[in-house]
Amino acid sequence: MMSLIEQIKNGKLWRYLGGVHPQENKAQSTSLAITTASIPKHLIIPVKQHIGQGGQIIVASGDRVLKGQPLTASDSFMTVPVHAPTSGTIEHIAQYPSTHPSATPEIAIKLVCDQEDQATPAQPALDYKQLSTSELQQHISQAGVAGMGGAGFPTAVKLNDRQPIEFLLINAAECEPYITSDDVLMRERADDIIQGIEILRHMIKPALCVIGIEDNKPDAAQALEAAIKTLSLSADIIVRKVPTKYPNGGEKQLIQMLTGKEISKGQIPAQSGIVMQNVGTVYAVKQAIIDRQPLLSRIVTLTGKAFPQPRNVQALIGTPISALLTEFECDEANAAAIIYGGPMMGFTLPHAQFSLTKTGNCILTPVKDEIPQVREADACIRCGECAEVCPIDLLPQQLHWYSQAKDVKKLNDYNLMDCIECGACSYVCPSQIPLVHQYRIAKVEVRESDAELAAATIAKERFEKRNERLALEKAQREQRQKEAAEKRRATAKATTGEDPVKAAMERIKKAKAAEQVVTNAQESKGSAVADAIARAKAKKAAAASTDTAVPDTPLPNNEAVIAERKARKAAAKAKREAESSQPAEITTSPAIEAKKAAVADAIARAKAKKAAALSSEMATTATDTPAPAVDAKKAAVAAAIARAKAKKAAAQSGETATDTPAPAVDAKKAAVAAAIARAKAKKAAALSGETATDIPVPAVDAKKAAVAAAIARAKAKKAAAQSGETATDTPAPAVDAKKVAVAAAIARAKAKKLAAQANTVEATHAPESPAPAVDDKKAAITAAVARAKAKKLATQANTVETTHAPESPAPAVDDKKAAIAAAVARAKAKKLAAQANTVEATYAPESPAPAVDDKKAAIAAAVARAKAKKLAAQANTIETTHAPESPAPAVDDKKAAIAAAVARAKAKKLAAQANDVNPTIDPGDNVQPTEPVDNKKAAIAAAIAKAKAKKLAQLGDK
Amino acid sequence: MTTILIAIITLVILAALFGLGLGWAAIRFKVEGNPVVEQIDAELPQTQCGQCGYPGCKPYATAVANGEEVNLCVPGGADTVEKLADIMGVEAKPIAEQEHDAGVKLVARIIEEDCIGCTKCIQACPVDAIAGATRAMHTVIVDACTGCKLCVAPCPTDCIVMEPVQTAWKWQLDSIPVVNIK
């Protein structure tokens, strides 16, 4: 049994099934020698003339290029560069319709030829025998050599030595009718072809090289054999004639004929040890290596009856078809079509403006009856002729049905993708069904379907990965939070010595217990008083304090309020404790919590007051017992304040709280004491530079004040008992500052009520009086707000104004209270303005009642009223409405603060005057409302007034 | 008489044996999960768009295996409906809501001039087809985009548009935009 090579050498040939025998029509174009086409006016060179990517363009518009100069660069064998076929200038690089049935636009370089054909400097031939395969590959690739047989596959890729190659097959079949370009090439340039083969043989070292040629080309075969003999290569290169049949020139068909090997679906010939190259490609390799000339031109068959003389032409790559048609006198009017390629596999060009590519081997321009016209397809008659001729052994009829149905699965089952689109089936179809056209469309469907499936698989994978990522992130987050919480707990435990979680749990329990008691009390009794008592008891129990029996005197009417305040306090306390640790769930009712908050505020205020009073000596002369205020209410409030102060003193300095000799149950005494207390407070404030606006809100009535005083006394006694002091009749502030604050707050509330009812001067004042502002800014803010409101009022009512309130709000330590107070004052002012249209309503606050006596206070009030009226009469504008304190609607808070200070100072002065014998300053004068038409003046006046007041106060004290 | 009795007893014993055998086989060769779900999921287009009402294709496949309607997958189109109907042995109904241009595949594109880098679209995409980071430019990875349109709504600047993806030429020889010039 001979080996395959021996068999082949012996002349064995194999066959493939199918194929057709169309009319050859080749003789027309082989009578003439190859003509070199003239250089056209311009060339349009597509950048990409093969599958895959095109090279990088390395020239620009306007560049002058020489023949053979590379126009694109590439760094991989799969991308083949293109070169300038002749010298000229680059006109532009733009999109041109590609020479393809789809005419898809592609980038091409338009080269205007200068007809000089100036070449790049010549280079010596390469001694290929000394070069390695990869070096030769590089040269071939850089020379732009691609497959010239029709597919344009980059040649260098095939010529590698990775796999052992047994056979090098040269495709000289040229089976398609009309085309003779390879034929004449072999006839005229056989030596070059053999030289090219030698280069390839050096590169891939096959065991045998076989040139497969159809037996309708005897001259070409003869020429090749002669060349082989001349070079003494008969042992290595064999010329094998094959029976003419279409499509012998198909790669797999020729391999099968020459070697009997079938290349399986999805395989390349190299895997079977075979490399096949077209003769034109071999010629180009020889030119690249030996002539050192890149691929610049090719042989094109110009045939068809529209050409007077069909011939083969060597034309430059990129030559416009129209140039060829014109030069070779094609009768375009009579041409039925311009076919690029042969009658079987070529396609019709819509016009002649396309350019010649590296794979264009024929321009066929038949006249009307030369080629069967395309007619409307009939239905398939199931004759089976198509299956008889298919060279791949496919079933074109089935493919036809499934292509119509777009049944991708079945098309894959019937191997549609193996169809080489040779056209044999369409050629024989009696119904003239355009089968290949249908298959091309179906192939696109199959490719798209496969791509969709691949994309769907990827999408599914990405979706699942994303879900995993999100789950992982969530788990990590939770883990981190857990660790952080543990860490927090550990550090808390380490620093405070107790486990915060446990502490919080206990607090919650306690709070719940307290709440439980409260709710129980509420449910059982249903009376506010009882509830309050119960809450107080619960609180006591919770605090585990051991109060001695407090003389629980029958509480006056304001018991409910007191009790409510206590409850609020307790609630706020519990809430605060709970919140300070971990977010516990204290279920105190909102009402209780609110009350607690209010109580806390009151405490804060009291503390502030105490702070203010601290700086001054408390137990100094009871200089002037300012007569009780116009109203006993003030006395009670003053008592409360005094208590607070005393308490503070007792707590801090250990002195006997003596400053407020507790008034007896007697109202008068209470009032006196209150007055004394107020005076002291004012003095303290004046000394410390604060602005005291301390007209406490009067109690509802003297009785209540007395009662409150008594309570305070009792508490002071208790405190004294506890601390060892002899604070007998000192209404020393209760042990609990809160209680003082409570009393003060009660008094304020009562005052408010009064104000609403009585519409008296003082009424307006209520809320603010408490502590002198520690914070001027807050006062300023509230002052500004009040001024704005006053403005509004003035514009609305056009009354004198009542605004006044602003300054008064002794900015409590608490912004909120100040705001509330301001709002209340505003409301009152509004009401007053609306109701009384009185002038003086506003005035009271600042000119506090530390009048020496009622009379003086009344006088002062009257003066204020007059002034206000004057103001109103004068300006009747927004600004004027604003009595002293609201000098001008100062644009800025600072001025407002100054104005406030001024007002307060004035008030102080008034009081001081009442006490002193320093009449230098006429109350009337200084109280003059700076009628600030001009802000600046107001500021100046305010400053002056303030200074004066200060001086007065100091003088008065001495 | 005894013959009949023997016959009856024999058959009863055989039936019992076969019953026991079947019961054992049912336990021994039990298939976990529902292979039908995998089959259905393989037919779905995997866009994970949620238009069927389920959060992804696998949940919808599970639902269909449990009797859900087969005509809810909008991106799958009529083909998918038929395939699902085939698998489940139910009648193939037309899709409830058919959008205009149902056959055209869309991909999202972010108009980069309007992108503010808020990452809302990144969080919305079920297949992570948008690349970007906070306050950095976002862009759609066209190969990964399934055209589900879930990113369009969250964008606060409305800078995402759906555009048809470039498809291969389908050999429409009569629609080549070429002009005959002489």
Q: How far apart are CA A925 and CA A800, in angstroms?
A: 19
pLDDT value at position A689?
45
Q: How far apart are CA A555 and CA A569, in angstroms?
A: 19
Residue A939 has pLDDT above 60, yes or no: yes
Best of B37, B48, B105 to substitute, by most chain A Cβ atoms within 10 angstroms, is B48
Tell me: the pLDDT tens digits for A722-745?
Answer: 544 443 444 444 445 456 556 556
| B113 Cα distance to chain centroid | 34
pLDDT value at position A940?
74
Q: How far apart are CA A651 and CA A656, in angstroms?
A: 10
Kindly state the average pLDDT of the residues B41-53. Answer: 83
* Contact (CB<8Å) A459/B178: no
* Contact (CB<8Å) B170/A447: no
Residue A433 has pLDDT above 80, yes or no: yes
Do A328 and A302 touch, CB atoms closer than 8 A? yes
| B50 part of contact set with chain A, CB < 8 Å | no
Q: How far apart are CA A896 and CA A884, in angstroms?
A: 11
Instruction: Assess: ipTM above 0.90.
Output: no
pLDDT value at position A243?
95
Q: Which of A516-530, A664-678, A786-800 is most confident?
A: A516-530
- Chain B hits for A104, CB-CB cut-off 8 Å, are 169
Residue A928 neighbours by CB distance under 10 Å: 16
Closest residue in A to B122 (Cα) is: A466
Best of B49, B150, B173, B175 to substitute, by most chain A Cβ atoms within 10 angstroms, is B173
**Burial class, A858, CB count within 10 angstroms (exposed 0-12 / middle 13-18 / buried 19+):** middle
* Contact (CB<8Å) B178/A462: no
Determine which of A379-393, A613-627, B81-95, B141-155 has the lowest per-residue pLDDT on average.
A613-627
Tell me: the pLDDT tens digits for A237-254?
Answer: 999 999 999 999 999 999
- Chain B hits for A446, CB-CB cut-off 8 Å, are none
Q: How far apart are CA B175 and CA B182, in angstroms?
A: 20
Q: Which of residues 144 through 173 in chain B touch A, CB cutoff 8 A?
A: 144, 146, 167-171, 173
Among A770, A616, A761, residue whose Cα is nearest residue A696 = A770
Closest residue in B to A322 (Cα) is: B182
* Contact (CB<8Å) A444/B128: no
pLDDT value at position A333?
92
- Chain A hits for B143, CB-CB cut-off 8 Å, are 455, 458
Residue A207 has pLDDT above 80, yes or no: yes
Tell me: the pLDDT tens digits for A273-332?
Answer: 999 999 999 999 999 999 999 999 999 999 999 999 999 999 999 999 999 999 999 999
Residue A539 has pLDDT above 50, yes or no: yes
| Residue A197 CB contacts under 8 Å (≥ 6 apart), including other chains | A168, A170, A209, A211, A233, A237, A282
Nearest Cβ partner for B176 among A102, A458, A462? A102
Nearest Cβ partner for A460 among B46, B178, B179? B46
* A915 vs A715: which has the higher pLDDT: A715
pLDDT value at position B3?
94
Do B94 and B71 touch, CB atoms closer than 8 A? yes
- Chain B hits for A457, CB-CB cut-off 8 Å, are 46
- How many Cα neighbours within 13 Å face the side chain of A273? 14
Best of A338, A462, A465, A468 to substitute, by most chain B Cβ atoms within 10 angstroms, is A462
Do A237 and A211 touch, CB atoms closer than 8 A? yes
pLDDT value at position B91?
82
Nearest Cβ partner for A350 among B126, B167, B176? B176
The secondary structure of A430-442 as a DSSP string is TT---HHHHHHHH
pLDDT value at position A373?
80
pLDDT value at position B71?
83
User: How many pairs of residues across A and B have Cβ atoms under 8 Å apart?
Assistant: 68
Residue with tokens 């610049």: A296
Q: How far apart are CA A69 and CA A888, in angstroms?
A: 90
Distances (CA, A) of A836 to A758, A800, A840, A885: 11, 11, 10, 21
pLDDT value at position A590?
53
Do A54 and A357 touch, CB atoms closer than 8 A? no
* Contact (CB<8Å) B46/A456: yes
- Chain A hits for B45, CB-CB cut-off 8 Å, are 452, 456
Q: Where are the beta strands (DSSP E) in A744-784?
A: none
* A536 vs A255: which has the higher pLDDT: A255
| A740 Cα distance to chain centroid | 56
Distances (CA, A) of A580 to A503, A508, A673: 11, 12, 41
The pTM for the full model equals 0.58
| A580 Cα distance to chain centroid | 37
| B176 part of contact set with chain A, CB < 8 Å | yes
* A644 vs A408: which has the higher pLDDT: A408
pLDDT band at A934 (very low <50, low <70, confident <90, very high): low
* Contact (CB<8Å) B45/A457: no
Express the helix, strand and coil content of chain B in percent, nearest 5 each: 35, 10, 55
| B71 part of contact set with chain A, CB < 8 Å | no
Residue A243 neighbours by CB distance under 10 Å: 13
Closest residue in B to A457 (Cα) is: B46
- Chain B hits for A462, CB-CB cut-off 8 Å, are 127-129, 144
Closest residue in A to B180 (Cα) is: A351
Kindly state the average pLDDT of the residues A877-895. Answer: 45
* B71 vs B123: which has the higher pLDDT: B123
pLDDT value at position B39?
87
Best of B171, B176, B182 to substitute, by most chain A Cβ atoms within 10 angstroms, is B171
- Chain B hits for A338, CB-CB cut-off 8 Å, are none
Average pLDDT of chain A, as a whole number: 76
| B80 part of contact set with chain A, CB < 8 Å | no
Q: How far apart are CA A108 and CA A95, in angstroms?
A: 6
Min Cα separation B103/chain A (Å): 13
pLDDT value at position B50?
81
* A340 vs A785: which has the higher pLDDT: A340
Residue A869 has pLDDT above 70, yes or no: no
Nearest Cβ partner for A440 among B128, B129, B171? B171
* Contact (CB<8Å) A444/B169: yes
pLDDT band at A366 (very low <50, low <70, confident <90, very high): very high
Q: How far apart are CA B95 and CA A482, in angstroms?
A: 48
| B127 part of contact set with chain A, CB < 8 Å | yes
pLDDT band at A613 (very low <50, low <70, confident <90, very high): low
pLDDT band at B54 (very low <50, low <70, confident <90, very high): confident
Min Cα separation A429/chain B (Å): 21
Residue B112 has pLDDT above 50, yes or no: yes
Min Cα separation B126/chain A (Å): 6
Kindly state the average pLDDT of the residues A370-386. Answer: 90
* Contact (CB<8Å) A102/B169: yes
Determine which of A199-208, A529-538, B103-112 has the lowest per-residue pLDDT on average.
A529-538
pLDDT band at A38 (very low <50, low <70, confident <90, very high): very high
Kindly state the average pLDDT of the residues A633-653. Answer: 61
Give percent above pLDDT 70 in chain B. 91
